[in-house]
Structure 1
Amino acid sequence: MARPRRSDDTRQLLVEQGATGFLTNGYHGTGIKQILDAVGVPKGSFYNYFDSKESFGQAIIDHHSLCVQRNLAEALGRSPDPVAGLHAFFERLMDDFVRAEFSGGCLIANLGGELEGSDVLRGSLAAAWNSWRDAVAAALRRAQELGRIREDIDATELADLLLESWEGAVIRMKIERSLEPLHRCLRRLLDDYFRP
């Protein structure tokens, strides 16, 4: 396997540092210079990797979406029970929140509230959300086939309900600095309302 070119490594480092900045300070609160300084890249080099801050934002959203998809696939792959796999995925997110001391939250939700003026970035956020929702819906559909989840509501509608409720619980988690709103969300939905 060929080793990635150094420029590919640098681009990835910029994206990862940008994701951290966006999660902590938001899109508008994160300066390109601070990202470049953190990675050790000269200021004039940014445009070798990205056309604009907007294209940089797209790359960060795409990177975040791929990470979510990978983590969800890993969690679901560890158990033949899709409900247990979903629990494992959300528990990993909770572990990440604790490590971040309840700051940050969800990059998609954070940016969604900030970037209403950019059609390009809103489109990227919508695509990221839909990928997450569709993967959760596929897991719920498998759970329906196994008789673990109610079948009278479409799996996509259940996935939307779960993720929209989860994002609201993330806001309460940040306010209360507690995982209890997230545990409550999973108990009320995955372990109660979604059951047959």
Structure 2
Amino acid sequence: MARPRLSEGTRLRLLDASANAFLRQGYHGTGLKDLLDSVEIPKGSFYNYYPSKEALGVATIEHTQRCTAETLAAALDGAADPVSGVRAFFEIQIAGFERTRFEGGCLLANLAGELDESQSCRTALATAFLSWRNGIRDALADGQRLGLVRDDEDAADLADMLIESWEGAVIRMKVDQSAEPLRKCLRRLLDGYFRP
């Protein structure tokens, strides 16, 4: 029996819709039927794309990882130097939070708190965070070579510090309904601790 033709556009619409739904309602709070109705995909057709909601969760995490990597690469490519590129990347995130009035927060962090029982999702999340960290690490290492970032600390450790501080600031942002904790995080690290 021939396998049905799968539309890449439909798959991407489904991934974008699932990322949005998981961010706003959580993974467990998102019903598959409502999600599929929102993108006008019959439930039977869904299984041509993914064998389960868990597989969709993994694919959504991987999609988010790719989008994050593309945004970081674009921010770095358009910047005068690596530190400015890192700042531009996080400013793009801040602008997104402000557009949604601080609703949701970080999809990867939210899913990490919700999907601890799924080994495949935990593995995808670990890979996504590592990819994000490595992109920031590489930019900070470039900054170290240019004398823009302190070089007495490992670039990977600095990247971990930035991302972990950022994620804490995202929680505070949601509580305060303000981007100020995010901007304070960037000032303290990029303009303070990370400087040579």
Give, as a single letter, the amino acid of the residue that structure 2 aligns with 1:85. G
Q: What is the aligned partner in structure 2 of residue 135 from structure 1?
A: 135
Comparing 80-89 with 130-139, greater Cα deviation is found at: 80-89
Question: Hey, what's the Cα distance between the residues in 1 that align with 2:101 and 2:134?
Answer: 29
Whether 1:191 aligns to 2:177 is no
Whether 1:29 aligns to 2:32 is no
Question: Hey, what's the Cα distance between the residues in 2 that align with 1:146 and 1:43?
Answer: 53
Cα shift at 1:13: 1.1
* Runs (4+) off by over 4 Å: none
Question: Hey, what's the Cα distance between the residues in 2 that align with 1:183 and 1:80?
Answer: 20
- Please list, as runs of the form range in 1=range in 2, the aligned pairs for 1:43-62 lying within 5 A after superposition: 43-62=43-62
Question: Hey, what's the Cα distance between the residues in 2 that align with 1:102 and 1:109?
Answer: 15
TM-score calculated relative to the size of structure 1: 0.96
User: For structure 2, which runs of at least 5 residues remain unmatched after alignment?
Assistant: none
Deviations along 1:76-120, whole A, 9 cap, x unmatched? 001231111111110000000001110111111000011111111
SS in 2 for 1:151: coil
Whether 1:147 aligns to 2:147 is yes
Cα shift at 1:6: 5.7
Comparing 27-36 with 131-140, greater Cα deviation is found at: 27-36
Give, as a single letter, the amino acid of the residue that structure 2 aligns with 1:106. C
TM-score calculated relative to the size of structure 2: 0.96
Decide whether the 8 Å contact of 2:78 with 2:85 is kept in 1: yes
SS in 2 for 1:150: coil
Question: Hey, what's the Cα distance between the residues in 2 that align with 1:76 and 1:82?
Answer: 6
Question: Hey, what's the Cα distance between the residues in 2 that align with 1:103 and 1:158?
Answer: 28
Question: Hey, what's the Cα distance between the residues in 1 that align with 2:42 and 2:79?
Answer: 46
Q: What is the aligned partner in structure 2 of residue 42 from structure 1?
A: 42
Whether 1:19 aligns to 2:19 is yes
Identical counterparts, % of pairs: 55
Question: Hey, what's the Cα distance between the residues in 2 that align with 1:17 and 1:117?
Answer: 23
Cα shift at 1:10: 1.4
Give, as a single letter, the amino acid of the residue that structure 2 aligns with 1:161. M
Decide whether the 8 Å contact of 2:6 with 2:48 is kept in 1: no
Question: Hey, what's the Cα distance between the residues in 1 that align with 2:6 and 2:113?
Answer: 35
User: For structure 1, which runs of at least 5 residues remain unmatched after alignment?
Assistant: none
Question: Hey, what's the Cα distance between the residues in 2 that align with 1:6 and 1:46?
Answer: 10
Question: Hey, what's the Cα distance between the residues in 2 that align with 1:60 and 1:165?
Answer: 24
Q: Cα RMSD (Å) of the superposition?
A: 0.9
Decide whether the 8 Å contact of 2:6 with 2:49 is kept in 1: no
Cα shift at 1:7: 2.1
